[in-house]
Amino acid sequence: MAAVSSPLCARLFTPSGLRFLFLAVYKNRTRLFVSVQRFYTSGTSTSSDDHLSSGLERYKDLQKYFYKRLKATYYRFSDIPDRSVVCGHHHVYFFEDDGIYRTDTRQSKLEPEQVLNLGQVSRGDEKTVLENEERKQRVQWTIQRIRLSPQEKHLAAALKSIHKEEQSVFVEVALSRDRQILSINCNSRTSSEVLLIDTTTSQLKPFLVQSRQPDLLYHVEHWKRCLIILANTGPGQEYEVVQAPLSEPNMVSWVPLFAPSPGTSIKDMDVVGDQCVLVARTPANELILIIVPLTHTKEAYILNDGTLVPMTLLHVKPVESLRQVPLLVHVYGAYGREVNMEFCPEKRFLLEQGWALAYCHVRGGGERGLYWQRQAQVAGKPKTVEDLQACIQHLFSLGVSSPSLTALTACSAGAVAVGALCQRHPHMIRAVTLQAPFLDVLGTMEDPNLPLTLEDREEWGDPVGNPEHRLAIASYCPLHNITPQSV
C-alpha cells in the first residue's frame, strides 16, 4: 500500500453546522487539524420516516421516467446501420475504409458510387509519383465527418491523418479577447506549438510563436501588440507568465512577468483590460485569483476563492456515527483533470438517505499542478491505484464506513484505477458503478486506428514500440488482469 503523501481534507456537512476537518496522512502517523468551524441552524429535518419515504417515492418515479425515455430512444435508433450515413435529397452517403460512397435512393439497383478516394489524398507540396507512393506507406487517412451543402452540390469531409513518424496533436482555433489575433493551437498532451494570424493587417499569413519542443507547454493571449504567454518554463517545469513582442514571439524574446511562489501552481490565465488574471492553487490547497497588472508587473494581488484538496468527504450524520453508513467513493486521476464534484440531484439524494460521499484527488489529476499530473503518466500509472487504495483504507481507519458498505464510481479513464483496485483488493469494496469505462488500456493502445490512441500515448505509453511501456500497462490493465475470485 502506498501512503498518501499529501494532506487530505474532509468537508463535514451536518444539518446543524458546517465543519471543515483537515487530515494529513503519512506512512506511520496521522495528524488531525481542525481549522474552521462555522455553525448554522436549519428549519428542516431529514431524519423523519415521512421524509425518507417521500424521497424514495420520488426516486422510484424518476427511475421509471428515465427508463421509459431510454427505451424510446433505443427503439428510435436501433434500426440505424452500423456504418455512418448522411442523407441528402436523393442520395445516401456512407463511409468505407477506402473512401466515401453514395447510393441513389431513386435507383436502388445501381451500385454505390465512390465520391472520395482516400488513396488519392495527398499534400500539395508533393512533386513526384515516388514521393506520393512513399507517403501512402507512411500515412493512413480516416474520415471523421462529412457535411453536405443545402442543394447537395458540394461535400466537405474532415480527414485525420495517422503518420508513423509524426506526433499527433489536437488543433484548436481561437480569437484573442481583443479580437485582433487568431491563434491556431496545436497541442499534444505534453507539448505545444502555436501559429498566429494578425487580423489587423492585409496579409493574413500565419506565423509561428515557438516551434515544438519536448515537454514545452504554452498558451498565448494578446495585449497591446505584445503576447502574454503562460508557459511551463518556471521552476520545476511549472507554469509562469512571460511576455514577448508580437514582432518577435519566439522563446528567445520571452521576458518573465510573474512566477508563483514555490508550491503554488497556475491553473488558467486570461487578459482583461490591462490585467493578467490567473487562477492558481496554493500549498494550503486554496484556489485563488492572482491579478498581475501588466502596466506594473512587480505588483500582484491575491484573492481567496474557495478550497480544493486531495480528498473531500461529504456527509450528514456526525463523524462518530459513520461506521455503519454506506460510502460512495469517486475517482478520476488522468490527463491532469480534476475529479468531477459538480452538484447533481442524485448525490444530494444519497446524502439525504445517510450516505457518505468521498472524492479522491489522486495523482494523475490536475489538483496540484503539472507535477501532480506527471507523477502518474506512462510507467507511473500504478501510483493512481496506490493512492486510491490508501485513501479508502484511511477512511476505514477513521471510522468511516466499512468494505461491506463501500462502492466505487468513476467514468471514462477513471475506470482504470477502479478496475485495477478491484482486481488487486476485491474485498475492499462491495460494488462498482462505471460510466463509459475505459478498461482495455493495452488493447486500445496497441491499435493506432482507434480514435485518440496516438494522441494518448503520452498519457498511457506506447506498448507497440516500447516493451517497458507494454509491461507497465499489462501490470494494471483491468481487462488483461481478470482472474477467478471467490465471492
Shared domain for 444 and 335, answered yes or no, is yes
Residue 269 has pLDDT above 90, yes or no: yes
Residue 100 has pLDDT above 50, yes or no: yes
Shared domain for 287 and 204, answered yes or no, is yes
- The pLDDT value recorded for residue 343 is 85
Domain end among 307, 339, 366:
307
Segment 326-342 mean pLDDT: 93
Segment 377-392 mean pLDDT: 90
Q: Is the CB of residue 47 less than 8 Å from the CB of residue 14?
A: no
Q: How many domains does the chain have?
A: 3
Domain end among 239, 272, 307:
307
Shared domain for 341 and 465, answered yes or no, is yes
Shared domain for 219 and 270, answered yes or no, is yes
Residue 10 has pLDDT above 90, yes or no: no
Q: Is residue 182 part of a domain?
A: yes
- Cα(367)–Cα(265) distance, integer angstroms: 9
- Cα(10)–Cα(336) distance, integer angstroms: 22
Shared domain for 180 and 98, answered yes or no, is no
Return the amino acid letter for 477: C
Query: CA 218 → CA 229, 231, 465, distances in Å?
Result: 7, 4, 28
Segment 195-217 mean pLDDT: 90
Let me know the angle formed at the C-alpha of 464 by 459 and 468, rounded to the nearest 5 degrees: 70
Shared domain for 450 and 353, answered yes or no, is yes
- Cα(252)–Cα(391) distance, integer angstroms: 44
Q: Is the CB of residue 231 less than 8 Å from the CB of residue 243?
A: no
- Cα(373)–Cα(376) distance, integer angstroms: 6
- The pLDDT value recorded for residue 26 is 39
Q: Is residue 190 part of a domain?
A: yes
Q: Is residue 99 part of a domain?
A: yes
**Bridge partners of 25?**
30
Segment 340-368 mean pLDDT: 90
Shared domain for 37 and 181, answered yes or no, is no
Structure-model confidence comparison of residues 162 and 126, the more confident one: 162
- Cα(114)–Cα(445) distance, integer angstroms: 32
Average pLDDT, the chain: 80
Q: Where are the alpha helices (DSSP H) in 267-381?
A: 345-352, 370-374
Shared domain for 400 and 273, answered yes or no, is no
Backbone torsion region of residue 263, taken as left when φ is above 0, otherwise alpha when ψ lies between -120 and 50, otherwise beta: left
- The pLDDT value recorded for residue 216 is 94
Shared domain for 393 and 282, answered yes or no, is no
Is residue 221 very low, low, confident or very high in pLDDT (cuts 50, 70, 90)? very high
**Bridge partners of 356?**
327
Q: Is the CB of residue 311 less than 8 Å from the CB of residue 4?
A: yes
Q: Is residue 1 part of a domain?
A: no
Residue 31 has pLDDT above 80, yes or no: no
CATH of the domain at 193: 2.130.10.120
The 3 state secondary structure assigned to 78-112 is: CCCCCCCEEECCCEEEEEECCEEEEEECCCCCCCC
Work out the percent of the chain whose per-residue pLDDT is above 70. 78
Shared domain for 207 and 299, answered yes or no, is yes
- The pLDDT value recorded for residue 276 is 92
Most confident of 262-276, 292-306, 430-444: 430-444
Transcribe 160-205 into DSSP letters: EEEETTS---EEEEEE-TTS-EEEEEEE-SS-EEEEEEETTSS---
**Bridge partners of 21?**
10, 34
Return the amino acid letter for 40: Y
CATH of the domain at 344: 3.40.50.1820
Shared domain for 210 and 328, answered yes or no, is no
- The pLDDT value recorded for residue 33 is 34
Shared domain for 312 and 287, answered yes or no, is no
Segment 364-377 mean pLDDT: 87
**Rounded to the nearest 5°, which phi and psi values hold at 173?**
-110, 130
Residue 20 has pLDDT above 50, yes or no: no
Domain end among 275, 307, 339:
307
Residue 71 has pLDDT above 90, yes or no: no
Q: Is residue 80 part of a domain?
A: no
**Rounded to the nearest 5°, which phi and psi values hold at 326?**
-70, 145
| Residues spanned by the domain of 95 | 85-119+141-163
Residue 136 has pLDDT above 70, yes or no: no
Structure-model confidence comparison of residues 171 and 355, the more confident one: 355
> What's the residue count for the chain?
487
Other Cβ atoms closer than 10 A to 391: 22
20-29, 281-290, 322-331: least confidently modelled range: 20-29
Here the cell at position 358 is: 468521498
Q: Is residue 217 part of a domain?
A: yes
Structure-model confidence comparison of residues 476 and 31, the more confident one: 476
- Cα(228)–Cα(344) distance, integer angstroms: 37
Is residue 164 very low, low, confident or very high in pLDDT (cuts 50, 70, 90)? low
**Rounded to the nearest 5°, which phi and psi values hold at 467?**
-60, -35
Residue 286 has pLDDT above 90, yes or no: no
Q: Is residue 136 part of a domain?
A: no
Residue 48 has pLDDT above 80, yes or no: no
Q: Is residue 150 part of a domain?
A: yes
Residues 6+ apart with CB under 8 A from 51: 45, 352
Here the cell at position 155 is: 461535400
Segment 395-420 mean pLDDT: 92
DSSP symbol at 50: H
